[in-house]
Structure 1
Amino acid sequence: MTEQTTPSAPPKMAARHVNVFYGDKQAIRDVSIEIDNDHVIAFIGPSGCGKSTFLRTLNRMNDTVAGARVEGDITLDGENIYDPSMDVVQLRARVGMVFQKPNPFPKSIYDNIAYGPRIHGLANSKADLDVIVESALRRAGLWDEVKDRLKDSGTALSGGQQQRLCIGRAIAVEPEVILMDEPCSALDPIATAKIEELIHELRGRYAIAIVTHNMQQAARVSQRTAFFHLGTLVEYGVTSEIFTNPREDRTKDYITGRYG
């Protein structure tokens, strides 16, 4: 794997020699990478290359898959997230996930946002909860569109609004890392542009990693890009350099459309 640069700040998350298996099949091979607060990192590569599988290791979503096994070290602020003492519920509050298909709860807009803070005891009163809900919806760029209909069902929103609601739901529990698995693939260009703008606004407040099949999107939203192929991390570096001057032939072939 070619690495063009390493972020200078201590990483928020670090993966070292990570391997992922589904039963006897190895899906990820010896991946090492760092994620920090200052840069959005995009994971790109052909379908089935392991980018989403790797993303899911970062908050132990693969724990829910029968036969899945993760080897190597993944740390959050230097703490091994696969240590038996790690509280997985708490981990997933600290490392939030936004999925490819918007998945609001069949609850009101308000209750979608309030759900996590209630579970984690982040609000002592209804007034506290109101503040958290408004703040999360503002940060998700949704407040002005829904402030007069917070009692309406979250599932009644448009697809783009639902995805921003899901981002707001992740934000509401004050995560440190936000993982996004192709968050715009089901959205139209206008909704996609709003999500991309939101990612720009959230950068620096959270460490953000995004899986995308859209290379133009990776170029627009990220400062670091990791190219995966056949379960390996082929190349990782500054996004502009990856796209204009890749060091690996496989990266160049993918970016120029020779395969994918």
Structure 2
Amino acid sequence: MKEAIMSSTTATPKISTRSVNVFYGENQAIKDVSIDVEMDNVTAFIGPSGCGKSTFLRSLNRMNDTIVGARVEGKIELDGKNIYDPSMDVVQLRARVGMVFQKPNPFPKSIYDNVAYGPRIHGLCANKAELDMIVENSLQKAGLWDEVKDRLTNSGTALSGGQQQRLCIARAIAVDPEVILMDEPCSALDPIATAKIEELIHDLRGKYAIIIVTHNMQQAARVSQRTAFFHLGTLVEFGETSEIFTNPREEKTKDYITGRYG
């Protein structure tokens, strides 16, 4: 059963997890989760509120390290390297595995400085011209350049909600990550802004390994190629999105997809 859950493809995984357990103090939030995430697919994590999908997502770039009492057991590898190995540089890990949060959180800085922040602190540019190029390219990739190119000195917090979220995606892209984690990135957005984020995810597919947590099953069906269904901290089923939504193997998955609970 566990092998069927992990992956049914032959591609070398970008992220591989085996028997992952996550605890908050005495409370176990994630139970024995094994999954492979590939570079060329968007992977969606779905499940009812409190099922552990966001907790598991945060374990993939060690964001749970910031929570007192949090503990992760098992193995999580990025390109075959255990990210919880003591030799792992967590700052560099989070540059390689970027995060976009549920609520847009631009810095109280200019649009330009929001995107330039990461490249500056990681020393990714030798001069202002290189930094300008990184900022422009990142905003282009995030689908925001044409909307903000004439007001880069304006505050990022003055943008609309959807623009702020795309600015946060540009900020994540600017440090040249390999993986982008998105924790319900559209839940605070209106339908038009949501459509733009979904279009952006399609555009970014293949350039980065993308994992999106979403409470919206229709969104998972639209943007992802593989879907993992979580319930009560366990990974119930993982496979091709089309199969999960049309021909799930597990009864729990079928009940959730058909709206019997959630």
The reply to whether residue 233 of structure 1 matches residue 235 of structure 2 is yes
Q: Hey, what's the Cα distance between the residues in 1 that align with 2:38 and 2:158?
A: 35
1:3 offset after TM fit, Å?
2.8
Match of 1:222 among 221, 224, 248: 224
Q: Hey, what's the Cα distance between the residues in 2 that align with 1:192 and 1:8?
A: 32
Q: Hey, what's the Cα distance between the residues in 1 that align with 2:35 and 2:198?
A: 23
Q: Where does residue 123 of structure 2 map in the other structure?
A: 121
Q: Hey, what's the Cα distance between the residues in 1 that align with 2:10 and 2:225?
A: 14
Q: Hey, what's the Cα distance between the residues in 1 that align with 2:252 and 2:103?
A: 29
- Structure 1, unmatched stretches of 5+, are none
Map 1:1-260 onto structure 2 (within 5 A): 3=5, 5-260=7-262
Q: How does the TM-score come out when normalised to structure 2?
A: 0.98
State percent identity of aligned pairs: 81
Mapped contact 2:48–2:215 kept (Cα < 8 A) = yes
Mapped contact 1:4–1:238 kept (Cα < 8 A) = no
Letter in 2 for 1:115: Y
Mapped contact 1:7–1:36 kept (Cα < 8 A) = no
1:36 offset after TM fit, Å?
1.1
Matched position secondary structure for 1:59: coil
Q: Hey, what's the Cα distance between the residues in 2 that align with 1:189 and 1:63?
A: 34
Q: How does the TM-score come out when normalised to structure 1?
A: 0.99
Mapped contact 1:109–1:153 kept (Cα < 8 A) = yes
Q: Hey, what's the Cα distance between the residues in 2 that align with 1:122 and 1:128?
A: 9
Q: Hey, what's the Cα distance between the residues in 2 that align with 1:24 and 1:32?
A: 21
Q: How many residues align?
A: 260
Matched position secondary structure for 1:253: helix
Mapped contact 1:5–1:238 kept (Cα < 8 A) = no
Q: CA RMSD in A?
A: 0.9
